[in-house]
């Protein structure tokens, strides 16, 4: 019998009693989750202080105050006066304590190779690279790029850089030389840690040659540490003065030195996102705030416990890579890493990974699910997925059909989908349910604990329930970027200048009558037709829900009468032909759902859509190519050839 409120999942009494967030509620005396959420938003110092004490982080020197907002909400400082280190909390304390023999990392290569590292094993790997970096003069405040596949050495590099007090600069493993060069230059990087290559769809991808091309144009980089992942499969060029073989250098690096005590506000990571201009934006994250915020999310949202295996299908160059490593390991959990494609050598590869390693918490993106759905229901049904208890997602808004497919076919209607949303600059998320939240398809539930967010109109005033508006934050949070690297003015202009005291996030959101939160796409992608606004995600969901379309990108194109008209670029499902009848049916579906003014002026079938390296569809690039405008920074684009097809089908 259908739930009249549209709820498809509710926590069982067992989940409601045993979830980490339920334990935390008992600790702080909260009778209802709604009460905890309200207090966490109104008294952020109380909440984050309780979180830090509950999760039990190690400090070289205790902090004096949880938060200091004396310089303004945009420059808030957290855990003031405290000294700690992400490496201390993610590896050192476990490697010398009761968890030293517990699995920290399980890794599978695309060729089926498996490695398992205990916390003691991981500590040896981290300490070895830290010694190498120190021997090459890398220390506190020095930026180090990491351009590696998802292998244990990538996690070790993150932690080794933190250990010596350096600044970790993650670089997507699929980047070309230009994208790497821009980020290393902007960060004034002194070193790069890379691999000779990795396997992708059975073929070696040679990273060292790309790294060399980039580093040759970055004079500040004097050291390149190379892990030989492929070995004999990759004969790499070598520069004796600059290049260091990871294994050989570790063998002769000498005596281990202690982890560097760092102020809670010292930078530990600069992670870049694409900007609307030609220069990427470097978000600055710090040792104390980032660590506490993401560990709280991994504990309270995806509910990581002692025996869990957390696997987020991601890359270290996307915020979810550091999120998985720092959050999972700070809590003493086990994380699974995988270097290859999710559907190679067969469409069931991702589901076989879950079965083979007993994954209990699986993180995916809506884009990934849509790409796997085209293979049908059989691939997941061929595998025992009963180990799963939590599904999690981020990256973009869901369409109902893929959400329900994931809930039914992957989670067996027993696993909640913890749909969380934030961003690289947020350092974590603004919105997220927990295992205590009854779930409706595609909803994000409610604000994340400790996140004072709202939905406002163009004047910055809260909108009525059911109305789409701008997502904003009203109070600071520990994971918030500490500005943009070397560009504080751009930070203020981008996030704080639209409304005084409110963080402008650039996402459309709404809250329904029952208090459930939804996202509707980027507000800078808004389509404005005859004075009315519609988010592209709304149009795209309608197209996908017809059953004819796998993915879509809707944009506004200048129109002399209506201001803009809708044009949709669609990837049709296998077996669906690009005929005038199909295009008319798709346009009619949008018109019937949204009204005749929103009927697309053009439906354009394409083979692919331009995507960032973390698989997000880059509507900005679609719109620019379709209208002849400037696209801004495209270094994060994974498939630039898709833009050529956009232009071709647009021009007819």
Residue 202 lies in a domain: yes
CATH of the domain at 542: 3.30.300.30
> For position 270, what pLDDT does the model report?
98
End-of-domain residue from the set 222, 238, 263: 263
> For position 1, what pLDDT does the model report?
43
Residues in the chain: 652
Domain span including residue 196:
113-263
Residues 7-34 have a mean pLDDT of 97
Residue 83 lies in a domain: no
Residue 625 lies in a domain: yes
pLDDT, tens digit (0-9, with 9 covering 90-100), for 166-191? 999 999 898 888 889 989 999 999 99
Is the C-alpha dihedral spanning 428, 431, 433, 437 positive or negative?
Answer: positive
pLDDT, tens digit (0-9, with 9 covering 90-100), for 395-435? 888 889 999 999 999 999 999 999 999 989 999 899 999 99
Residue 315 lies in a domain: no
- Residue 583 pLDDT greater than 60, yes or no: yes
H helix or E strand, kind and range, residue 467: none
Alpha helices in 97-151 (DSSP H): 119-135
Give the three-class secondary structure for 415.
coil
Residue 387 lies in a domain: no
Cα–Cα distance between 646 and 623 in angstroms, integer?
9
Q: Is the pTM of this model over 0.85?
A: yes
Residue 212 lies in a domain: yes
Residues 257-276 have a mean pLDDT of 90
Residue among 374, 439, 394, 443 at smallest CA distance from 413:
439
Residue 191 lies in a domain: yes
**Region for 575 from its dihedrals, namely left if φ exceeds 0, alpha if ψ lies in -120 to 50, beta otherwise:** left
pLDDT, tens digit (0-9, with 9 covering 90-100), for 331-369? 999 999 999 999 999 999 999 999 999 999 999 998 899
Cα–Cα distance between 422 and 432 in angstroms, integer?
9
Q: What is the DSSP letter of 439?
A: B
Candidate ranges 14-23, 513-522, 564-573, 623-632; pick with highest mean pLDDT: 14-23
Give the three-class secondary structure for 619.
helix
Neighbours of 513 (CB within 10 A): 8
CATH of the domain at 218: 3.40.50.980
Q: What is the DSSP letter of 334?
A: E
Work out how many domains the chain is built from and give that number: 2
Question: Which residues have a Cβ under 8 Å from the Cβ of 283 and sit 6 or more positions away?
Answer: 270, 271, 272, 273, 424, 425, 427, 481, 484, 485
Q: What number of H helices and E strands is found in the chain? A: 22, 31
Whether the CB-CB separation of 399 and 544 falls below 8 Å is answered with yes
End-of-domain residue from the set 216, 245, 263: 263
Is the C-alpha dihedral spanning 155, 133, 228, 272 positive or negative?
Answer: positive
End-of-domain residue from the set 240, 263, 286: 263
Cα–Cα distance between 55 and 186 in angstroms, integer?
35
Residue 553 lies in a domain: yes
pLDDT, tens digit (0-9, with 9 covering 90-100), for 42-98? 999 999 999 999 999 999 999 999 999 999 999 999 999 999 999 999 999 999 999
């Amino acid at each position: 019998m259908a739930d009249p409120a549209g709820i498809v999942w509710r926590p069982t009494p067992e989940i409601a009693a045993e979830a980490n967030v339920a334990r935390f509620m008992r600790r702080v005396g909260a009778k209802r989750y709604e009460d905890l959420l309200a207090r966490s938003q109104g008294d952020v110092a109380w909440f984050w202080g309780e979180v830090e004490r509950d999760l039990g982080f190690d400090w070289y020197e205790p902090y004096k105050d949880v938060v200091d907002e004396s310089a303004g909400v945009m420059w808030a400082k957290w855990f003031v006066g405290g000294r700690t280190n992400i490496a201390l909390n993610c590896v050192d304390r476990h490697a010398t304590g009761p968890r030293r023999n517990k699995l920290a990392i399980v890794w599978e290569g695309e060729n089926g190779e498996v490695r398992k590292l205990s916390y003691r094993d991981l500590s040896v790997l981290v300490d070895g690279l830290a010694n190498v970096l120190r021997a090459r003069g890398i220390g506190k405040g020095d930026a180090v790029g990491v351009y590696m596949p998802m292998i244990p050495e990538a996690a070790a590099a993150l932690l080794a850089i933190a250990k010596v007090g350096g600044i970790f600069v993650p670089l997507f493993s699929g980047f070309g030389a230009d994208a790497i060069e821009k980020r290393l230059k902007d960060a004034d990087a002194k070193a790069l840690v890379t691999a000779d290559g990795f396997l992708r769809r059975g073929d070696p991808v040679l990273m060292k040659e790309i790294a060399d091309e980039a580093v040759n144009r970055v004079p500040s980089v004097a050291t390149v540490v190379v892990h030989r992942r492929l070995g004999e499969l990759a004969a790499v060029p070598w520069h004796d003065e600059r290049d260091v073989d990871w294994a050989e250098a570790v063998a002769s690096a000498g005596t281990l030195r202690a982890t560097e005590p760092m102020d809670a506000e010292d930078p530990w990571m600069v992670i870049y996102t694409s900007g609307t201009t030609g220069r990427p934006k470097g978000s600055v994250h710090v040792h104390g705030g980032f660590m506490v915020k993401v560990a709280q999310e991994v504990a309270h949202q995806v509910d990581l416990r002692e025996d869990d295996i957390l696997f987020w299908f991601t890359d270290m160059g996307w915020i979810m890579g550091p999120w998985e490593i720092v959050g999972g390991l700070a809590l003493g959990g086990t994380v699974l890493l995988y270097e290859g494609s999710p559907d190679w050598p067969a469409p069931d590869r991702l589901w076989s990974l879950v079965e083979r390693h007993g994954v209990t918490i699986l993180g995916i993106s809506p884009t990934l699910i849509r790409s796997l759905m085209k293979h049908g229901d059989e691939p997941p049904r061929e595998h025992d997925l009963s180990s799963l208890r939590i599904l999690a997602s981020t990256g973009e808004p869901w369409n109902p059909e893929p959400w329900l497919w994931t809930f039914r076919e992957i989670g067996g209607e027993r696993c909640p989908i913890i749909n969380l949303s934030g961003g690289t600059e947020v350092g974590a998320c603004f919105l997220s349910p927990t295992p205590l939240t009854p779930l409706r398809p595609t909803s994000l539930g409610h604000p994340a604990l400790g996140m004072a967010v709202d939905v406002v109109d163009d004047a910055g005033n809260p909108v009525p329930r059911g109305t789409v508006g701008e997502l904003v934050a009203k109070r600071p949070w520990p994971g918030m970027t500490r500005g943009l690297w070397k560009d504080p003015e751009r930070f203020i202009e981008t996030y704080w200048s639209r409304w005084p005291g409110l963080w402008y996030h650039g996402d459309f959101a709404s809250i329904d009558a029952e208090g459930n939160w939804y996202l509707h796409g980027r507000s800078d992608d808004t389509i404005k037709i005859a004075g009315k606004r519609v988010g592209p995600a709304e149009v795209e969901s309608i197209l996908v829900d017809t059953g004819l379309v796998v993915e879509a990108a809707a944009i506004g194109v200048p129109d002399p009468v209506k201001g803009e008209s809708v044009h949709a670029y669609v990837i049709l499902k296998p077996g669906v032909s690009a005929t005038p009848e199909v295009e008319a049916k798709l346009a009619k579906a949008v018109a019937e759902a949204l009204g005749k003014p929103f009927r697309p002026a053009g439906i354009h079938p394409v083979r692919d859509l331009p995507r960032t390296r973390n698989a997000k569809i880059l509507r900005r690039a679609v719109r620019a190519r379709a209208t002849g405008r400037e696209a801004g920074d495209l270094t994060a684009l994974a498939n630039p050839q898709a833009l050529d097809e956009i232009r071709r089908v647009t021009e007819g």
